Amino acid sequence: MNDVAGNPTSVSRVALVDATPPVVTINPVATDNVINTPEHTQAQIISGTVTGAQAGDIVTVTLNNSDYTTVVDGSGNWSLGVPASVVSGLVDGSYPVSVSVTDRAGNSGSQSLTVTVNTAAPLSALTALRAMM
């Protein structure tokens, strides 16, 4: 490139490219990833951490084909309260919980776990013994 007088010039710029996706972790739901009878009537917290994201980045949590959103806080934590009305609507079985975050550079990170709803009353020892007779 030349300037108007014909002298050669050069231009240089430094560009930073962020190609590192955020790393998502999910804490156990209901302490053991099993929602039992008493927990089935209560709101449940789904929470975790994200590294490589900034405060305010959106976290999307998918449970039972429904998306819920929250944001990353200044320490890289996120938390979402699933309403009791949603939790109590889950029938016994396994449900994938997927969490995804897209950082400001457009990089996405995700993580999944399985939550089991088990509201069947446990058999007492006496009931189990009677069933064997």
What's the pLDDT tens digit per position in 38-48?
999 999 999 99
What's the pLDDT tens digit per position in 75-124?
999 999 999 999 999 999 999 999 999 999 999 999 999 999 999 877 66
Residue 10 lies in a domain: no
* pTM of the entire predicted model: 0.79
**Residue 22 one-letter amino acid:** P
Residue 125 lies in a domain: no
Range of the domain at 59: 23-120
Residue 133 lies in a domain: no
Residue 32 lies in a domain: yes
Q: What angle do CA 111, 69, 103 make, to 5 degrees?
A: 60
Task: Say whether 29 sits in a helix, a strand or coil.
Answer: helix
Residue 13 lies in a domain: no
Beta bridge partners of 34: 116
| Contact between 111 and 99 (Cβ < 8 Å) | yes
Tokens matching residue 70: 């929250």
| Contact between 92 and 120 (Cβ < 8 Å) | yes
Q: Which CATH number is 46's domain given?
A: 2.60.40.10
Domain count of the fold of the chain: 1
